[in-house]
Each structure stands twice: as structure tokens, then as C-alpha cells.
Structure 1
């Protein structure tokens, strides 16, 4: 799962891959994927300022529950709340938003800290052709 998430978040996976991942996740383990994504977002140093761009990239409306939560400040708490959304439709929106938050935060980190090269393997994933 982690490798797929990195590919989707970095834009190296074909469109729709993230949506297929969340649909394939068994209900029994459905809570692990968003929690893992939330953890990745925290590691990437996501900020509340990433919310609007992540909402745009995820193609969510500002009134969708995950979008409302991400704009409420205290990013680490909100990421946890987003990851714990239970209804399937909300989980799908949460997954899309969390992937987008990860991409926004990672883009910023890549520009700031990795522009001259780094050892992060996910920054060297092949781009889709």
C-alpha cells in the first residue's frame, strides 16, 4: 500500500489509481489506509495552508465533510478526524483529499529541501508515460 500511495501522491501513478486503491481496500482494513495517509501527511509537514489547494486538487466541494475539516486549523487533529470518517462515500472523499494534502506538502518540501537532490526514493519514482 505504501508504495502505491507514494506513486499516487507524487503524480507518478495514472489517474484513477487512488480511487481504485480505496475501492479495493477490504472493509475490515478500511481504517488503516486513511490513517496511514494521515501519518504520511504529518511526516511531510502538511500545514492548514495546504487545505485549499488540496481541496482543489481532489476535486471536492468546500462543503464536503473532509474539505470542511481540513480548513478548521490544528492540521494534525483534523487529519486524524478525516482519516476516521466512517461512511464509504466519506472515506472515498477523505482518501482523495489526504492524497492531495500529501502531494501539496511533499511538493513544498521537495522544492525547499530536495531541489539539489536527496535520498528520498519516492522523489525518484518514474513518471507515467
Structure 2
């Protein structure tokens, strides 16, 4: 749910990065793997990459950006110090692809639970 909220702009990216960085390394890698699947399901395209890099705030020369430019998605195998950059980049890619999918295929409403998050109450953080 957090990944979808981040992609839809319902949570600030800083909150997402903080959440991600508080995960164990194994959980971070699992989150990246899930994001790759979400990007695929949302039909991310290679021509989304430049906007994703710009939106993520990472440099085009950082390893995750270079990998994505070559349309490689093995981000969950990066060294630990690159995981947050990969997370920011994949959230941006997912956001772009999912936004397009919602606009094109779900504009008149849909039954996708994850596209109707703004209508659901958000749990408070304790």
C-alpha cells in the first residue's frame, strides 16, 4: 500500500525514503523486487526513463539510473549503498507509468483497489 501511495503522490517522497531506509537490507531488496513487478504491471516504457531519473532526483550517472537507461531491472542485486537511489528511481518510474495507466485505462473509474486509495482512510502513524 505504501508503494502505491507514494506513486500516486498520497505520501511525500521523503516519508517513503524514510520508511525504506528503516527496513532491513533484505526487506529493502524485497521492496525493490516488488517495485520492479509493479512497474511492469503498470506498463512502464523505456521512454519513461529520462523523466523518471529527473523526478527521482538522482544523477543520471548513478548506477541505478545507468541500469534503467539500459532497461535493466536487477536493482535488488545492487550494493547496499545504492538501494535508496534505486528505490527513489523505481518509485518515480512506477508513478509515471501508473499515472498514465490510470489516465488512459481507469479514467472513468475502475475496480483496482490500489487506484482508489485517496478514498480510503489513511492509518495514523503512532
- The reply to whether residue 85 of structure 1 matches residue 78 of structure 2 is yes
Alignment of 1:1-129 (within 5 A): 3-72=1-70, 75=71, 78-79=72-73, 81-88=74-81, 90-126=82-118
Unaligned runs of 5+ in 2: none
TM-score, L = length of structure 1: 0.85
Q: How far is 1:93 from its partner?
A: 0.2
Q: What count of residue pairs does the alignment treat as equivalent?
A: 120
Unaligned runs of 5+ in 1: none
Matches of 1:14 and 1:91, distance apart in 2: 19
Contact 2:25–2:80 (CA<8 Å) still a contact in 1? no
SS at match of 1:98: helix
Contact 2:52–2:89 (CA<8 Å) still a contact in 1? yes
Q: How far is 1:126 from its partner?
A: 2.0
Q: How far is 1:22 from its partner?
A: 1.5
Residue deviations 1:19-74 (CA, integer Å, cap 9, x gap): 112111112433211011111111111111110111111011111111111111xx
* Runs of 4+ off more than 3 Å: none
